[in-house]
Amino acid sequence: MNRFKTFLLMTVLTVILVGLGSIIGGRSGGMIAFAVAFVMNFVSYWFCDKIVLRMYGAREVSQQEEPQLYGSVASLAQRAGIPMPRVFIIDDDSPNAFATGRNPEHGVVAVTTGIKRILSRDELEGVLAHELSHIKHRDILIQSVAATLAGAITMIANWARFAAFFGGSSDDDEGGGNIFTVIIFSIIAAFAAMLIQLAISRSREYLADDGGAGLSGNPLYLAGALRKLNAGVARNPMNDANPSTAPLFIVNPFSAGGVRSLFSTHPPIEERIKRLEDMAYRR
């Protein structure tokens, strides 16, 4: 169900993008909007891993430097049937982890120094299994494309409102809709794109939880890790994190509560833990 939901939401994002371009510039506008998204997706596909690793100052480690961490990743990768990912460490006290890379052959797993301090070996394996599940199912590519499409929609919507206010709009076939249509649709499109991106991210997190629980052999490993990570991030959020990379992390790197939690890139921690515990008790 989550896979079908992801496909459906990606389709809707594409339709919104092309529709927004068409309203602004008619048929040629729709084609231009699609071309913009294609170029942005091309860049994110080839360089997403390098960009995010440099953004957080991550350093690659070898088996000699981190034998336990490296060994756990190697064992889980073999179990998952994917090539050994590169392993990186981020010098940050906030406990978190993420995976990146355009496909399993170029997979990367990164963990913070904070996560190594607060998790047991089993709990860390649960987290690593979750991240390898992302790599196995190419979630990084899916989330990167979703983020790029949503970003393109927001960028074009902002430009459309600016142009409508200050440049007017023609009513011919190739000139798009009138000023009110452009303004209203651009606002709706940008908000819908944000919600769809969040929904895609949440769906992939549930799938990675399920896959990680199977890889580690015990859903309670990941459940226990999520409980500790939630408390750890609340005490020590990664406030210098880039919001555009938040969906990559296993838990939201920002401390979010109340209304802000409705717009979180991650499902509620309590719901994730409950699903994992139910899975363990059904075994």
Catalytic positions: 131
Tokens read off for 90: 């981020």
**Does residue 219 contact residue 279 with C-beta atoms inside 8 Å?**
yes
> Which backbone phi and psi does 192 adopt, to 5 degrees?
-65, -40
Residues 6+ positions from 276 with CB-CB distance below 8 Å: 209, 213, 219, 220, 222, 223, 226
> 132: burial class by Cβ within 10 Å (0-12, 13-18, 19+)?
buried
The strand pair at 108-112 and 97-100 is best described as antiparallel
Radius of gyration of the chain (CA): 20
